[in-house]
Amino acid sequence: MKYRQWQVAAPCPEGRLALEQAGLSPLLAGLLSARGVTSPEDARRLLSPSGEPIPDPMLLRDMDKAVRRIRLALERGEQIAVYGDYDVDGITSTCLLTQFFTARGGRAIPYIPSRLEEGYGLNPEAVAYLARQGVALIITVDCGITAVEETALANSLGIDVVITDHHACKDVLPPAAAVVDPHRPDCPYPFKGLAGVGVALMLALAVAGPQEAPGIFDEVCDLAAVGTVADVMPMTGANRAIVSLGLQKLDPPRRLGFASLIRCAGLEDKPVTSVSVGYTLAPRINASGRMGQAEVAVELFLTKDPARADELAARLCELNRTRQTIEGEIFQQCVQSLDEHPQQGAIVLAGSQWHQGVVGIVASRLAEKYACPCFMICLDGGMGKGSCRSWGDVNLFELLSSCSDLLENFGGHALAAGFTVREDKIPALALTLRSLVAERCHGKELPSVLDIDLAVAPQHLTVEAVESLELLEPCGTGNPRPVFLLQGAQVHTMTQVGRGRHLKLRLESRGVSLDAIYFSSQGAELGLFPGCRADVVFYPQINDFRGMRSVQLQVVDLRLAPSRAQLEQAIYDKYRQGELLTCEEARFLLPERRDFVGLYRWLERQSTGCTVVEDTPARIARAVSRATRQREVPARTMLCLEVLEERGLIELNRRTDRVQIILRQVEHKVDLEASDIIRRLRAILDN
């Protein structure tokens, strides 16, 4: 198991029925009701994301100042630099505003600092360079909110700065002409979940004005959608409309760069969804920034030359393959190091030979593997540049803020952040980070919980039902990709594929055969073998092979399934501990009349000439089963004994692993239905 705990949501039966009666498939209806969407009207709103209202961009604090300064620059013909970040969010933001200004006759140039040479955000060297190029206005996108000194430098060189960002603010804001960030404490904008490209989009719409805004949105929403998905922003509120409408512009794509990249990535004949953007397109775009060549992606999305677009797309795919190789090598080095020298609470690793562009991905993989936050630091000349990824709801920005005295600088948000630290302070930093994580978790292990939407029956996993889940698009934080549980599936075959890196499974459940793929996993390490039974948590997907469409399970986590006896014992233990039973569990435990009759007659025969019967519950259940030709259910047998004890028919003494039963002589008729135990179980069923 990858996760220590699986948490399965329960559907609302009434809501599920109402949604099915409204025409939704049982699979989609069960999913929505488990997520709290129980009325057809609420479902309709959720499944129609393009109608989600986008708040007025002018509600963003300082947007009026930003609009005035930018319109003035356009009127004067001033040189404008759009200064971005080197990830997908920053690249798409940079392209969006550069395209917007250029189309309106503006003199705009894109500038993204080299990740390997300049690092993140505004830097003095870049500001000085832009001043020499005659730039009069710098507009930051997806960065700048902490660039206090750099903004002051720009001002001293005669350059105005407009900050647009979506990262967390520090106490002091940069002395800019305008600072537009929904996370400003004084910003009244009602939706705080915009990506950097979302803020850039709002800026373009505000500068264009209400009359032109719809046309501008139509021109650039493809960029906004890709950047928002790639930055793992909440897929709620305005983001649902931005991404939904943007994905429509990608299927088919109107922008040459996206058309070439989609073709090069092998998605040409497949629908473009938030999943394909997040797992296929975004890594290729990100690779350009990670490998220090963000300009490749910028040119790709701005070019009007089809041949050049194909060339640039191929280059991105090549960079991504290089990135994967380097990432894999660093990851294996780190795993080996952690196997030899385990770390608790938080992982802090430093290396002088690591590639700065890929350590963030490695940190993410290590955080998931070891279920704790991970901090990766690249060393160079006594300084370290760090990338970190969160786990278990640990807020990285707050964590870094608490140890800011050990850092040269830092920035980011709750789930991902970057920082700079002197090499000699790394031991103290590691000690402080682990102490802070332990303090926030009260000394306990960080939660390793997998949230599961629904336990499903295999007959509901039809091609049509899985296709109906596409209505949930776009998926992301706040509206996650559906995750289901299939219990007790038998493993028929298991094969290593992808040069032994992945596991392909053939499963059977209740007469239904299903294919499954488990990426980056091996059967031996999971304890699987042909014929075993497994509980499988998965994303459902459609596999289209040579025109044949079938359901395939993309495994998220997997464990050997408990036996029927173990499951039944778990239900009985739950009852004994006073935990709330489900209707199905209560129905399973509730004995029928024949259960009592068979057990009591067996006890009478066993106690002939002897007043005491003593044995294990399992052997008693097996003996009763043979005598009555009923199924052997030790848990229900024990419950029957408790009812007989409650009604005065037996005396029941429990030993460590055995029970002692003494029959009592009762002259009157006993009503077993009057048992408090039976009444409690029936009350659960009645509710």
Question: pLDDT, tens digit, for every residue of 408-417?
Answer: 988 888 888 9
Mean pLDDT of 645-650: 92
Mean pLDDT of 14-34: 95
For CATH 3.90.1640.30, the residue range(s) in the chain are: 57-220
Question: pLDDT, tens digit, for every residue of 471-521?
Answer: 999 998 889 999 999 999 999 999 999 888 899 999 999 899 999 999 888
Residue 617 pLDDT level (bands cut at 50, 70, 90): confident
Q: What is the pLDDT of residue 444?
A: 67
Q: Classify domain 565-686 by CATH number.
A: 1.10.10
Q: What is the pLDDT of residue 522?
A: 75
Contact (Cβ atoms closer than 8 angstroms) between residue 314 and residue 290: no
Domain covering 5-45+451-561, topology: OB fold (Dihydrolipoamide Acetyltransferase, E2P) (2.40.50)
- H or E element, residue 111: strand 107-111
Q: Which of 472, 510, 517 is nearest to 496 (CA)?
A: 517
* Tokens found for residue 500: 């032994």
Mean pLDDT of 276-297: 94
Question: pLDDT, tens digit, for every residue of 195-250?
Answer: 999 999 999 999 999 999 999 999 999 999 999 999 989 999 999 999 999 999 99
For CATH 1.10.10, the residue range(s) in the chain are: 565-686
In this structure, what are the phi and psi dihedrals at residue 629, rounded to the nearest 5 degrees?
60, 35
* Tokens found for residue 546: 């040579």
Concatenated DSSP letters of 527-595: T--TT-EEEEEEEEEEEEETTEEEEEEEEEEEEEPPPHHHHHHHHHHHHHTTPPPPHHHHHHHPPPHHH
Q: What is the pLDDT of residue 616?
A: 87
As a whole number, the mean pLDDT across the chain is 92
Q: What is the pLDDT of residue 181?
A: 98
For CATH 2.40.50.460, the residue range(s) in the chain are: 5-45+451-561
Q: What is the pLDDT of residue 323?
A: 93
Of 62 and 574, the structure prediction assigns the larger pLDDT to: 62
- DSSP code for 234: B
| Residue 325 Cα distances to 321, 336, 362, angstroms | 6, 17, 12
* Tokens found for residue 263: 């073709």
CA–CA gap between residue 359 and residue 346 (Å, rounded): 16
Question: pLDDT, tens digit, for every residue of 62-78?
Answer: 999 999 999 999 999 99
Q: What is the pLDDT of residue 443?
A: 62
Domain covering 57-220, topology: inorganic pyrophosphatase (n-terminal core) (3.90.1640)
β-pairing, 135-140 vs 79-83, is parallel
Q: What is the pLDDT of residue 90?
A: 97
Concatenated DSSP letters of 162-206: EEE--SPP-SS----SEEE-TTSTT---S-----HHHHHHHHHHH
CATH classification for the domain delimited by 342-447, as one of 3.10.310.30, 3.30.565.60, 3.40.640.10, 3.40.80.10: 3.10.310.30
Mean pLDDT of 673-682: 93
Whether residue 402 has pLDDT greater than 90: yes
Contact (Cβ atoms closer than 8 angstroms) between residue 454 and residue 211: no
For CATH 3.10.310.30, the residue range(s) in the chain are: 342-447
Whether residue 449 has pLDDT greater than 90: no
Whether residue 600 has pLDDT greater than 80: yes
Q: What is the pLDDT of residue 50?
A: 84
Whether residue 440 has pLDDT greater than 70: yes
Q: Which of 616, 656, 623 is nearest to 638 (CA)?
A: 616
Of 446-455, 459-468, 646-655, the one with minimum mean pLDDT is 446-455
